[in-house]
Amino acid sequence: MNHLTHLLILACVLLAGCSDPDAAAEPQATQIGFTVAGRLENAEIDEASGLARSQREPGVLWVINDSGAKEILHAVDHTGASLGETELKQSTNKDWEDLASFRLDGNPYLVVADIGDNAARRKTRTLYFLKEPEAGKKKTTVDWEVRYKYPNGPRDAESVAIDIENERVLILSKRDIPPVLYEVPLKADDDKKVTAKWLGTIDSLPRPSRQDVEFAPRTNDWHWQPNGMDISDDNRAAVIMTYRAVYYYLRKKGQDWFDALNSEPLRISLGNFQNAEAVAFVDDRRTVMVTGENKNSLLLRVDLDIPLPATAAQNEVTVMSFNVQNLFDNIDDPGKDDKAYLPLPAKQHESHIAACNAIEVESWRDECLYLDWDDAALEFKLGVLADTIRQVNDGQGADVIALQEVENINVLERLRTGHLEGLGYLPAILVEGTDTRGIDVAFLSKLPLAAEPILHPLLVPDFPDRQGDTRGVLQADFAMPDGSVLTGLSVHFPAPFHPTEMRIAAFEHLKELRDALPDNHHAFAAGDFNTTSSEDAREGLLDSYARPYWTLAHDVGCSECNGTYFYGRDDSWSFLDMILFSPARGENTTARIRADSVAIANGNPAQVSPDGVPQRFRSAERTGVSDHWPMIATIELTQKQ
């Protein structure tokens, strides 16, 4: 159980990657993603900062080191094996930060970008241009250089790319929020210093939160900063890399690169790969490779020039809302109230027994003391959850699952990579919240992410003593096959024993998140809304806070459904679990919930008690799945003619 937040997300229109780059898994039949191509063999490459494809020798890559290293160009093959070193005469490595290749007048060239400036003090930067040497040639010289300054003062940058159609170098700043795109000419008149042209901000990259910026100097986590860029040889595709992901852009015919880089990119996560510093297109098929600044760093690769699978041709998405009832792993996690979900041998010390005996509710106290949550129990729980998920779409599961009551990403990854293996789910999406029990909301999805997921905390200032029993709303923006974006919001509202005002605050919070989305985003909210039928009849919550802004799935379909949760004490059903949908406010598409798709997913016999109600999971008896039944619905998107 890891208390740190892990975002193991990998994206492409059907890209899936390895969460452990040192042990890359074989891609599934319908998925392609980052794989390990090799390692940089040459130990002299200990802080790789730039990577470029050879324009003269297929299969060759050029690599440079960061500031303070010798002025050396390192040649390697696509596995990282060394092919030799070339000294670049008439140059100085003050802070080499990127490398690019291009062809001009039929000749192959490299440009070395001496543009780093961590302290923003350098008055000028230098781009060194040279005819590309043969791999292994001992020495070469600079053919020309472009010295430039920024129009608005010193800037740090680590990203350059060549727009060969316009014979210019594009430079992306690193520390500005948002980053700024500049251009300088490929050649300067009479070798004079030039002033870079300010093109504007690149707003397509994720921005850090205020907390991210505040804590970054202490955590050294600058995940939002761009540190590499490249443009493909055909000048139609580009990539920008941050410390967490590579963002892939396609430029329309006649479109300027500034506009193209402000369109929505495709996000491909770097998973657990640390210290990524260099990215490049490496062949004519738009294969992208990435490496980092460690000695003998890994080389990762992904092919972005791939066809859509037949299953992605239909522009519809099946969504499941599933409260999985206390999905905990069996390792104690400090800071979380997970003491009930441990193996019996771990429960025998006095402090544990005392903590359990302090619990007032007898059934909870007994669970804390006597539940044996060993590997066998956990595996059984994961198995019945998987059986429940597999009952949808002919055994393939829903395209997106919004989950509630998940302790951490590790246990969800155990479900995904074990019991759901082969179904095409990309690495799990979960951002740790502050619920005192340690339960979170999450997503499993076959659709790639179009942006970094965000957890939006629910604040209830009128009830400060109850704040710890709240979960935030997890926002994940999914890339649809047609290029549109479907925003998912996974929710778990305050429980019914809390005041109604807390659920009203949660509904209002959800509306605010919906209203803040771009007009061209479709949106759904799915999860445990904890709004009972009796409370709704009394307070009119759905009519006041949901139906005016959302389409409720069980309003358009599932007319014979009783609900997803049963209250035995008053013999009543409630739709605690719901799927809400709001179409984009733009004019290019229409979208709806298909009425005949809305259903309660309770076809797994283990889900149903002898009385015909949800069978709560009971570990000791090895019975049940969850005290909630999942809801499913299909969202259809149609392009307007």
Residue 228: closest CA among 241, 210, 246, 209? 241
- Whether 418 and 286 map to the same domain: the answer is no
CATH of the domain at 461: 3.60.10.10
Higher-scoring residue by pLDDT: 342, 525: 525
Mean pLDDT over 533-544 rounds to 96
Q: What are 268's strand-pairing partners?
A: 246
Residue 385 lies in a domain: no
Of the chain, the percentage scoring pLDDT greater than 70 comes to 91
> Same domain, yes or no, for 276 and 418?
no
Confidence tier at 8 by pLDDT (50, 70, 90): very low
340 falls within a domain: no
Helix (H, G, I), strand (E, B) or coil at 287: strand
Q: What number of residues does the chain have?
A: 641
Q: What share of the chain is helix, strand, coil (3-state, %, to 5)?
A: 20, 35, 50
Q: How far apart are CA 296 and CA 279, in angstroms?
A: 16
Q: How far is CA 223 from CA 15, 336, 531, 554, in A?
A: 21, 26, 38, 40
**Same domain, yes or no: 95 and 198:** yes
For the beta carbon of residue 310, count every other beta carbon within 10 angstroms: 8
- Residues 517 and 487: beta-carbon distance below 8 Å: yes
Among residues 308, 336, 362, which one ends one of the domains? 308
Domain for residue 380, yes or no? Answer: no
Evaluate if residue 28 carries a pLDDT over 80: no
Could you tell me if 399 and 528 lie in one domain?
yes
Strand, coil or helix: 449:
strand
Last residue of a domain, one of 308, 342, 374: 308
Cβ neighbour number for residue 303 with a 10 Å cutoff? 16
Please state the domain count of the chain. 2
The model's confidence at residue 630, banded by pLDDT at 50, 70 and 90, is very high
> pLDDT tens for residues 119-173?
888 888 999 999 999 998 999 999 999 999 999 999 999 999 999 999 999 999 9
CA distance 165 to 43: 37
Query: What is the reported pLDDT for 23?
Result: 32
Of 395, 237, 389, the residue nearest 305 (C-alpha) = 237
142 contacts: CB under 8 Å, gap ≥ 6: 88, 89, 90, 91, 128, 129, 130
In a domain, 371, yes or no: no
pLDDT in tens, 584-613: 886 555 688 988 899 999 999 999 999 999
β partners of residue 157: 173
CATH value at residue 116: 2.120.10
**Rounded to the nearest 5 degrees, what angle is found at the Cα of 117, between the Cα atoms of 199 and 217?**
105
Domain of 106 in residue numbering reads as 21-308
Predicted confidence (pLDDT) at residue 21 exceeds the cutoff of 80:
no
Regarding whether 150 and 43 lie in a shared domain, the answer is yes
DSSP output for 188-205: -GGG--EEPEEEEE--SS
Q: What is the pLDDT of residue 225?
A: 93
Check pLDDT > 50 for residue 10: no
CA 206 to chain CA centroid, nearest Å: 11
Q: pLDDT tier at 285 (50, 70, 90 boundaries)?
A: low
**Are residues 444 and 583 located together in one domain of the fold?**
yes
Dihedral sign, Cα of residue 381, residue 428, residue 420, residue 388? positive
For the chain, what is the mean pLDDT? Answer: 88
Residues 95-134 have pLDDT tens digits of 899 999 999 988 999 999 999 888 888 888 999 999 999 9
Q: pLDDT grade, residue 476 (50/70/90)?
A: very high
Is residue 1 pLDDT above 90, yes or no?
A: no
Residue in the block written with tokens 């940089």: 40
Query: Are 56 and 156 found together in one domain?
Result: yes
**Mode of pairing for the β-strands spanning 72-77 and 577-582:** unpaired
With respect to residue 65, please indicate whether it lies within any of the assigned structural domains. Answer: yes
**With helix as H, strand as E and coil as C, how does 566-603 read?**
EECCCCEEECCEEEEEECCCCCCEEEEECHHHCEECCC
- The pLDDT value recorded for residue 14 is 31
Q: CB–CB of 80/48 below 8 Å?
A: no
Answer yes or no: do 296 and 407 share one domain: no
- Say if residues 222 and 209 touch (Cβ distance below 8 Å): no
Beta bridge partners of 528: 492, 577
pLDDT tens by residue, 231-275? 998 888 999 999 988 999 998 878 899 999 999 888 888 877 878
Helix (H, G, I), strand (E, B) or coil at 546: coil
Check: CB of residue 592 under 8 Å from CB of residue 635. Answer: yes
**pLDDT-derived band at 559, boundaries 50, 70, 90:** confident
Helix (H) or strand (E) holding 522: strand 521-528
Mean pLDDT of 399-407: 97
Q: Whose CA is closest to 588, among 476, 517, 482, 489?
A: 482
Instruction: For CA atoms 125, 130, 134, 138, give the dihedral sign.
Output: negative
User: Last residue of some domain: 256, 276, 308?
Assistant: 308
pLDDT at 220: 83
**Cα–Cα dist 472/19, whole Å:** 25
User: Is residue 615 domain-resident?
Assistant: yes
Work out the pLDDT band at 3, boundaries 50, 70, 90.
very low
Same domain, 420 and 301: no
- For residue 472, pLDDT over 80 is answered with yes
| Res 29 pLDDT > 50 | no
Q: Is residue 343 part of a domain?
A: no
Q: Answer whether residue 493 is part of any domain.
A: yes
Asked if residue 274 and residue 402 are part of one domain, the reply reads no
Contact 55, 115 (CB under 8 A): no
Q: Would you state the pLDDT for residue 305?
A: 67
